[in-house]
Amino acid sequence: MRKIEHLGIAVKNLETSKELFSRLLGKDSYKEEQVGAEGVQTAFFLLGETKIELLEALSADSPIAKFLEKKNEGLHHIAIAVDDIYSEMDRLKKEGFELLNDLPKKGADDKLVVFLHPRSTNGVLVELCQDLETEKE
């Protein structure tokens, strides 16, 4: 595990939150991306080696919509950059962590991603991210 790749923040209105984070960080987001399979519209801010990912739900059955039904806007997940997502998944499975997917899936920002259930990670939703170009090598 290399670094915190991004902090995922669940928001009700992406435009409103983009404007707030632009004022907070003193810079604009560098990309917006829809991940239909996850039911999210995202916006990314770069902060040194780490990013902030704002996430708005695209539909009522989006994980973000479900999260916001129960909790206020705020930190939704932490994403950790890994060099080899498959070997990390094997290692974590052996360590008893609960993976939410058997195989990694395409995430935002040119990543392969997998999530761990928060009940196995002290209540924190953890996402593992591997750069897609690493996957091609």
Ligand X SMILES: CC[C@H](C(=O)O)C(=O)SCCNC(=O)CCNC(=O)[C@H](O)C(C)(C)COP(=O)(O)OP(=O)(O)OC[C@H]1O[C@@H](n2cnc3c(N)ncnc32)[C@H](O)[C@@H]1OP(=O)(O)O
Binding site for ligand X (CB under 6 A): 8, 35, 38, 40, 53, 55, 63-64, 66-67, 70, 76-77, 79, 100, 107-108, 111, 113, 115, 117-118, 123, 125, 127
Strand, coil or helix: 88: helix
One residue of 79, 89, 99, 128 binding Co ion per CB under 5 A: 79
Q: Which is nearer to Co ion, 92 or 108 (CB)?
A: 108
Q: Which does 115 bind (CB under 5 to 8 A by kind): Co ion, ligand X, none?
A: ligand X
104 binds, among Co ion, ligand X, none (CB under 5 to 8 A by kind): none
> What does the block give as tokens for 51?
């990013």
Q: What is the largest CA-CA distance in the chain?
A: 43
DSSP three-state, residue 71 = coil
98, two tokens = 């609960």
- Among residues 27 and 117, whose Cβ is nearest to ligand X? 117
# chain residues binding Co ion, by CB under 5 A = 4
Q: Write the CA distances from 86 to 5, 7, 102, 106, 130, integer angstroms.
A: 17, 22, 10, 14, 9
